[in-house]
Amino acid sequence: MSDRISLTIPARAQYTGVATLVLGGIGSRLDLPYERMDDLQLAVLSVLESGAEQEITVEVEAVAGQLRVSLGPLAEGSGSSQGLGRVLDPLVDSFESVQRGGREWLELELSC
């Protein structure tokens, strides 16, 4: 059994705090250590700044000790850029650029 939360926000700087607030609340409910939560929030902010379309959806799913965050749609190629990869690598356990409905999304995973 998993819990999933989906949030769609305008891809503008003044709304990114909403995404980090939601992530913080979920992390608190899962007793995620502060450092891990901070890493996840920084990773999500980095993705949001790297090339979101006009709106971006943040989907968070908690499954058996794992927290999965999907973000998209992203501007084509932004989720698979090497620069973003270097930022994400130390922050999350894994990340992958995937296609959904012909659009690029980025999926992040973090152990709880």
Q: Where along the chain do its domains lie?
A: 3-111
pLDDT in tens, 64-82: 888 999 999 998 888 778 8
Mean per-residue pLDDT of the chain: 90
CATH class for domain 3-111? alpha beta
Residue from 78, 70, 112 nearest 95 by CA: 70
Question: Would you report the helix, strand and coil content of the chain in percent, each value rounded to 5?
Answer: 40, 40, 20
pLDDT in tens, 46-61: 998 876 668 999 999 9
What is d(CA 26, CA 65) in angstroms, rounded to the nearest whole number?
13
Cβ neighbours of residue 85 under 8 Å, at least 6 residues apart? 95
* pTM for this model (two decimals): 0.90
Whether the CB-CB separation of 62 and 30 falls below 8 Å is answered with: yes
pLDDT score at 112: 82
Q: Which helix or strand (DSSP H or E) is residue 22 part of?
A: helix 16-29
